């Protein structure tokens, strides 16, 4: 089921990243790579530092130490919109859509990166800008159909059922034309059939060549879909390998079942 | 609202001077129109990007002074160097005033948008105060509190066609109307383009907007430039129409007027400043027979508070809601049908996989 993993250069490399919040060490020393076309899951108990890792990678959080490379270029000092501009796009753990704006317009905003209309042409209403706008609308429909929320295009984002809001968040990120997509607990709050459909969507995205880094607590899903899994516990990577390796890793089992197991 | 409504309104207002010859009423309409234009510019910042400029009158006043000074010509000494400027045609002055105000918008935007919200409010207020003090104290240039009289009215035409000078109220009315129509069209195109969507996205959810690649500074600065330039245009029109300006033009009350117009009309809507501008621009006509100007201001304040209490979004969004409620069945049906056909498409697309 998993797309073939090509052995290729890392698209994303996290090198010795540490994040301290005052005295609290959210990430102590984290290094891992994601290769082009891979689907890597980043898992770990609550508070392990997964979201913080996403924030660092996408420029929302400055690391205390270390750096992140995207296609070999350091992202240090780039603002979030610049990181997104390179094709590294994330979604949020807490559902985040433009609530008061229609689903369709939400996606149009997401498509921001795909047009660079001239200001003058826009103000003069030139045909080229109008045509670009038409194309943008067509692309928005495509994304809505891909994600499966086209029937709700006219609804305000905030009025969608919870699961569909999560999908809209993904649609927004997809609109930004990611080369690497970072999904923070995308199926949390979805029921089994919604989750199954989401897995289908992920496979379609992979077929398009999008590299995916996934944070998710849904273990059956993670085990089924990932090429590789990176396990984080208390801000440290405790395991990094294929799903079967991870499932049998004593440290991982200990982390998930609680520290007591180690001593048993 | 109906998409032909703006056009109908334009035709209606274009016809007004045909039956309204009363000079006082025309004057009121011209001034209302100028403040409407200023409010439209404020709306781009306040309504679409969500940034409150409480020094907006600075752009208005800069447009007025630059346009007035260049069309009067002036001599000043700056750092021991004599600068003299021959009078320019007023229309060029108007454009230069716009450009200068736009440039100020750029500088203020660059300066203030690093930290937004309250900080921006403070920077804009301070900016307006600084500009006012310059206008008041740089007496060589601005005549200070003695005012700058004899500003020439706008002229139309070129050297080879001869000039028409716009002395009359009706002519100025049309000039203002044309600029309002142009500004409306420009704002409409801007806010409905990717540029405007980016501004709205930043207003609604900045974190989410930047996550899909929207640059905060780029769009907020752009909004400040366009907003400043249009406010400068309004100021220039004011100067050439009233033909005398003094530093009182920078008074805080003028900014407050713009804010009131935008908020009561409906911020973040194209028609909001137009409707608000008409209400507050024409209110003096109805009130002047009963109360003095000071009491009028109190009444405006009360009116605004009342409107904001009853219609927190402003008048225009409320009217739009009425329109949509008046024909809910048709709209829902259409949406439902389109939605389900699209859904069917999506399903068949999925089945093909
Ligand atoms: N801005 C912040 N300021 C202070 N502490 C923070 C901040 N953000 C995160 N933390 C702390 O850092 C640690 C890691 O948090 P993070 O949100 O990255 O965990 P997570 O792995 O995403 O957890 P979950 O599975 O619950 O989403 C937690 O202890 C959290 O309380
Ligand atoms: Mg998290």
**Close Cβ partners of B17 (under 8 Å, ≥ 6 residues apart):** B26, B170, B173, B174
pLDDT band for position B221 (50/70/90)?
Answer: very high
CA distance B236 to chain A (A): 22
Mean pLDDT for B28-35 is: 92
Where along chain A do its domains lie?
2-97+160-257, 98-159
SS3 label, residue B295: helix
Which strand (E) or helix (H) includes residue A90?
strand A88-90
CA distance B45 to chain A (A): 17
Q: Provide, as residue numbers in chain A, all residues whose Cβ is less than 8 Å from the Cβ of B350.
A: 148
pLDDT tens digits, B313-352: 888 888 888 887 765 544 444 333 333 333 333 333 333 3
Q: What is the mean pLDDT of chain B?
A: 82
Mean pLDDT for A148-153 is: 92
Measured distance CA(A71)–CA(A69) in Å, rounded: 6
Ligand 1 atom with least separation from CA of A22? 4
- Going by alpha carbons, the residue nearest to atom 11 of ligand 1 is A26
Q: What is the pTM of this model?
A: 0.87
Q: Provide, as residue numbers in chain B, all residues whose Cβ is less than 8 Å from the Cβ of A129.
A: 193
ipTM summary value: 0.90
Lowest mean pLDDT among A107-111, B97-101, B288-292: B288-292
What's the confidence (pLDDT) of residue B331? Answer: 41
pLDDT tens digits, B154-210: 777 666 666 677 778 778 889 999 999 999 999 999 999 999 999 999 999 999 999
pLDDT tens digits, A75-88: 999 999 999 999 99
Lowest mean pLDDT among A12-21, A162-171, B37-46, B105-114: B105-114
pLDDT tens digits, B103-152: 999 998 888 777 777 888 888 899 999 998 988 888 777 877 777 887 88
- Determine, for residues B200 and A172 on separate chains, whether the beta-carbon distance falls below 8 Å: no
DSSP bridge pairs for A90: A182
Measured CA distances, B137 to A165, B12, B66, B81, B348 (Å): 58, 44, 16, 19, 73
Is the CB–ligand 1 distance for residue A141 below 6 Å? no
| Residue A244 Cα to ligand 2 middle (Å) | 24
What's the confidence (pLDDT) of residue A70? Answer: 93
Write out the DSSP string of B236-274. HHHHHHH--B-GGGG-HHHHHHHHHHHHHH-TTSSSHHH
pLDDT band for position A105 (50/70/90)?
Answer: very high
Helix then strand then coil, % of chain A, to nearest 5: 45, 25, 35
Q: Provide, as residue numbers in chain B, all residues whose Cβ is less than 8 Å from the Cβ of A150.
A: 339, 342-343, 345-346
SS3 label, residue A238: strand
Is the CB–ligand 1 distance for residue A157 below 6 Å? no
pLDDT band for position B88 (50/70/90)?
Answer: confident
- Determine, for residues B197 and A125 on separate chains, whether the beta-carbon distance falls below 8 Å: no
Domain topology for A2-97+160-257: Rossmann fold (3.40.50)
Helix pair angle (B328-352, A127-147), 10° resolution:
70
DSSP state of B48: I
- Determine, for residues B210 and A172 on separate chains, whether the beta-carbon distance falls below 8 Å: no
What's the confidence (pLDDT) of residue B349? Answer: 36
What's the confidence (pLDDT) of residue B146? Answer: 79
Backbone angles phi, psi at A10, to 5 degrees: -65, 135
CB atoms within 10 A of CB A262: 12
Find the closest chain B residue to A107 by CA distance.
Answer: B212
Backbone angles phi, psi at A100, to 5 degrees: -90, -5
Mean pLDDT for B43-67 is: 92
pLDDT tens digits, B268-295: 999 889 999 998 888 877 777 777 777 8
Measured distance CA(B21)–CA(B54) in Å, rounded: 36
Q: List the single residue in B207, B222, B342 with the smallest CB-CB distance to A150.
A: B342
């Amino acid at each position: 089921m998993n797309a073939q993993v090509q052995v290729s250069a890392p698209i994303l490399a996290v090198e010795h990243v540490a994040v301290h919040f005052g005295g609290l060490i959210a990430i102590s020393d984290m290094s891992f790579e994601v290769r082009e076309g891979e689907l890597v899951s980043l898992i770990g108990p609550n508070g392990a530092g997964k979201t913080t890792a996403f924030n660092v990678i996408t420029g929302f959080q400055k690391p205390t130490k270390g750096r992140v490379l995207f296609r070999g270029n350091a992202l240090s000092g780039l603002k979030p919109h610049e990181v997104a501009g390179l094709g590294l796009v994330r979604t949020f753990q807490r559902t985040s859509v433009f609530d008061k704006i229609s689903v369709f317009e939400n996606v149009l905003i997401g498509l921001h990166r795909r047009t660079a209309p001239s200001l003058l042409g826009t103000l003069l209403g030139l045909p080229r800008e109008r045509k670009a706008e038409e194309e943008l609308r067509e692309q928005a429909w495509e994304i809505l159909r891909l994600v499966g929320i086209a029937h709700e295009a006219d609804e305000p984002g905030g009025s969608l059922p919870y699961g569909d809001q999560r999908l809209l968040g993904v649609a927004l990120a997809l609109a930004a034309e990611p080369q690497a997509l970072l999904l923070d607990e995308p199926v949390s709050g979805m029921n089994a059939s919604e989750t199954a459909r989401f897995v289908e969507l992920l496979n379609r995205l992979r077929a398009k060549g999008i590299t995916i880094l996934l944070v998710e607590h849904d273990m059956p899903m993670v085990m089924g879909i990932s090429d590789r899994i990176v396990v984080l516990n208390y801000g440290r990577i405790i395991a990094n390998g294929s799903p079967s390796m991870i499932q049998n890793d004593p440290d991982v089992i200990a982390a998930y079942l609680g520290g007591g197991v180690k001593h048993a | 609202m109906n998409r032909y409504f703006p056009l109908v309104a334009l035709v209606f207002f274009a016809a007004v001077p045909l039956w309204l010859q009363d000079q006082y009423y025309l004057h009121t309409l011209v001034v209302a129109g100028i403040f409407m234009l200023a409010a439209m510019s404020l709306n781009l910042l306040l309504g679409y990007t969500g940034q409150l400029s409480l020094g907006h009158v600075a752009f208005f006043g800069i447009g007025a002074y630059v346009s007035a000074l260049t069309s009067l010509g002036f001599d000043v000494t700056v750092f021991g160097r004599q600068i003299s400027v021959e009078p320019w045609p007023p229309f060029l002055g108007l454009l230069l005033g716009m450009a200068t105000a736009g440039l100020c918008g750029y500088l203020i935007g660059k300066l203030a948008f690093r930290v937004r919200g309250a900080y921006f409010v403070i920077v804009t207020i301070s900016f307006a105060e600084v500009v006012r003090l310059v206008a008041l104290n740089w007496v060589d240039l601005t005549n200070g509190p003695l005012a700058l009289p004899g500003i020439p009215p706008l002229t139309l035409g070129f050297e080879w066609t001869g000039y028409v000078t716009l002395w009359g109220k009706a002519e100025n009315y049309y000039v203002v109307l044309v600029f309002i129509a142009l500004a409306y069209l420009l704002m409409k195109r801007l806010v409905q383009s990717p540029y405007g969507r980016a501004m709205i996205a930043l207003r609604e959810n900045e974190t989410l907007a930047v996550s899909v690649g929207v640059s905060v500074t780029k769009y907020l600065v752009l909004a400040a430039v366009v907003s400043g330039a249009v406010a400068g245009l309004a100021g220039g029109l004011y100067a050439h129409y009233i033909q005398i300006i003094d530093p009182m033009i920078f008074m805080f009350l003028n900014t407050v007027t713009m804010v009131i117009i935008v908020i009561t009309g409906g911020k973040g809507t194209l028609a909001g400043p137009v409707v608000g501008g008409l209400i507050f621009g024409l209110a003096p006509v109805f009130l002047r027979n009963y109360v003095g100007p000071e009491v009028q201001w109190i009444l405006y304040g009360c009116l605004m508070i009342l409107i904001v209490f009853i219609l927190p979004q402003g008048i225009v969004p409320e009217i739009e809601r009425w329109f949509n409620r008046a024909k809910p069945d048709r709209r829902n049906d259409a949406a439902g049908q389109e939605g389900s056909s699209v859904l069917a498409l999506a399903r068949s697309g999925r089945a093909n996989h």
